[in-house]
C-alpha cells in the first residue's frame, strides 16, 4: 500500500513510519519539522520506499503524491508544558490550524483518493475528566477558553470534521484517541513527564513533580501505541469508529518519578517544585474495552521494560 503519514517526523509518527516500512508499505512522510525532527527518520530514510516531504499540511498539499491508499494524520504539537518552546501553548495558532485546516486538507486528500483515513485525536478531548476510566462515550470536561483549549478544542473539532466526512462523504475514516505514550525520541525540550524525569535522574538533578505529584497518568509504550493505530487503520468495517489507544495501568506522577529514580540508580532528590499547571487533569486512564473487542489489541510492554528501553535511549542520545 501507499501510505501518507502526516507528522511522520514526530515521536509517534516516526515509529509508525518505521513499522509500516518493515511491513513493506510505501510511505510518504509529510512534516514541516516544527516539532518533528529529521533525526527521528534516520532508520526510515534507509528504505527506498520511503519519501520525506517537508511541507505544512495546513497549506496546499503536494500534488505529485500519486494514488494513495491510506492517510494517517498525526501532525500537531502535543506538549502541554508551559515552558516548552515547542508546546501547543507556544505554538497555539499552529496547533489550532493543523488540527482543523490541516485535518480538512488531509481528509480531502483521502477522499479524492478513496483512501482510508485515521485522525490521531487525544485523551485531551476528555479534558479534566469527571469519570475515570474514560470510555469513548464520555463527552469530556473541557474548557473552551482555558490554556489547554487550543489543543483540546482543536482535536475535538478535528474529530467533528472527520465524522462529517464519514457521514456526508462516505469516507472510510477512523479516530484514535491516543493517551499518554512514552518511549525513545520525545524531544527533551518537549518537557514531558517521563522524559524530564529520566534526563533529570541521569544528570543527578532534582526530579521535579508539578504539584504533589498525586495526579495520575497511564503510560503506554510507543510500540504498543503504533500497533493500536495500525490495527485501527487496517481492520475492515470500522468506518466512523472512535477508539481509545492507551494502557489501563494507572499510576501517580510521583510513582513514575520513583520508578525512574530506581531504574537509573540515580541519587537525584524527588522534589515538588511548582503548583499544578492550570487545568492539568487530575486523573487519566482509558477504558480500552472497545480496542480489545474491535481490534483484539492490548498493550504488551510492561513499565519496567519500556522505561528501561527509554532510559537506554536517553543515555546514548
Ligand atoms: N509533570 C511533572 N513534572 C514534569 C513534567 C510533567 O510533574 O517535569 C506532570 C504534569 O503536570 C502532568 C503529568 O506530569 O500532571 C504528565 O505531564 P505530561 O507533560 O507528560 O503530559 P499530559 O499528560 O499532562 O498531557
pTM of the shown model: 0.97
Mean pLDDT of successive 10-residue stretches along the chain, which has 317 residues: 98 98 98 97 98 98 96 98 93 98 98 98 96 97 95 98 98 98 95 97 97 96 98 98 98 98 98 88 96 98 98 94
Q: Which atom of ligand 1 is nearest to the CA of 256?
A: 14
Distances, alpha carbon 126 to alpha carbons 7, 110, 129, 197, in Å: 23, 27, 6, 25
What is the pLDDT, as a whole number, of residue 64?
A: 92
What is the pLDDT, as a whole number, of residue 278?
A: 86
Q: From ligand 1's centre to the CA of 245, what distance in Å?
A: 19
Q: Which CATH topology does 2-180+220-247+284-300 take?
A: Rossmann fold (3.40.50)
Nearest protein CA to atom 17 of ligand 1, as residue: 193
Sign of CA dihedral 33, 39, 43, 49: positive
Nearest protein CA to atom 5 of ligand 1, as residue: 193
Q: From ligand 1's centre to the CA of 198, what distance in Å?
A: 13
Nearest protein CA to atom 14 of ligand 1, as residue: 193
Q: Which atom of ligand 1 is nearest to the CA of 277?
A: 11
What is the pLDDT, as a whole number, of residue 314?
A: 96
Nearest protein CA to atom 3 of ligand 1, as residue: 209
What is the pLDDT, as a whole number, of residue 68?
A: 98
Catalytic residues: 151
What is the pLDDT, as a whole number, of residue 111?
A: 98
What is the pLDDT, as a whole number, of residue 275?
A: 86
Pocket of ligand 1 (CB under 6 A): 80-81, 180, 192-193, 196, 208-210, 213, 215, 217, 253, 277, 280
What b/e sequence results for 27-54 when a residue is b if at least 16 CB atoms lie within 10 Å of its CB, and e otherwise? bbbbbbebbbbeebbeebeebeebbbee
Q: Where are the domains of the chain?
A: 2-180+220-247+284-300
User: What grid cell was written down for 162?
Assistant: 472527520
Amino acid at each position: 500500500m501507499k501510505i501518507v503519514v502526516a507528522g511522520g517526523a514526530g515521536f509517534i509518527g516516526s515509529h509508525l513510519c518505521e513499522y509500516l516500512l518493515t511491513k513493506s508499505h510505501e510511505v510518504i512522510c509529510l512534516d514541516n519539522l516544527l516539532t518533528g525532527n529529521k533525526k527521528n527518520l534516520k532508520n526510515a530514510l534507509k528504505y527506498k520506499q520511503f519519501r520525506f516531504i517537508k511541507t505544512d499540511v495546513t497549506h496546499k498539499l503536494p500534488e505529485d503524491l500519486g494514488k494513495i491508499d491510506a492517510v494517517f494524520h498525526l501532525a500537531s504539537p502535543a506538549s502541554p508544558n508551559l515552558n516548552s518552546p515547542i508546546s501547543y501553548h507556544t505554538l497555539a495558532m499552529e496547533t489550532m490550524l493543523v488540527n482543523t485546516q490541516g485535518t480538512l486538507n488531509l481528509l480531502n486528500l483521502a477522499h479524492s483518493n478513496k483512501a482510508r483515513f485515521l485522525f490521531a485525536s487525544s485523551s485531551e478531548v476528555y479534558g479534566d475528566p469527571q469519570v475515570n476510566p474514560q470510555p469513548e462515550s464520555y463527552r469530556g470536561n473541557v474548557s473552551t477558553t482555558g490554556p489547554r483549549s487550543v489543543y483540546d478544542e482543536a482535536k475535538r473539532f478535528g474529530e467533528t470534521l472527520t465524522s462529517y466526512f464519514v457521514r456526508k462523504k462516505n469516507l472510510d475514516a477512523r479516530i484514535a484517541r491516543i493517551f499518554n505514550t512514552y518511549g525513545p525520541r520525545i524531544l527533551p525540550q518537549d518537557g514531558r513527564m517521563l522524559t524530564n524525569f529520566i534526563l533529570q535522574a541521569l544528570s543527578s538533578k532534582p526530579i521535579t513533580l508539578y504539584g504533589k505529584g498525586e495526579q495520575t497518568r497511564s503510560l503506554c509504550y510507543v510500540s504498543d501505541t503504533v500497533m493500536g493505530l495500525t490495527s485501527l487503520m487496517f481492520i475492515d468495517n470500522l468506518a466512523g469508529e472512535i477508539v481509545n489507544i492507551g494502557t489501563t495501568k494507572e499510576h501517580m506522577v510521583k510513582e513514575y518519578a520513583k520508578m525512574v529514580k530506581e531504574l537509573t540508580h540515580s541519587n537525584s532528590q524527588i522534589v515538588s517544585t511548582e503548583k499544578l499547571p492550570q487545568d492539568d487533569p487530575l486523573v487519566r486512564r482509558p477504558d480500552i474495552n472497545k480496542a480489545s473487542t474491535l481490534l483484539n489489541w492490548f498493550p504488551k510492554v510492561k513499565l519496567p521494560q519500556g522505561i528501561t528501553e527509554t532510559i537506554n535511549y536517553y543515555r546514548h542520545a
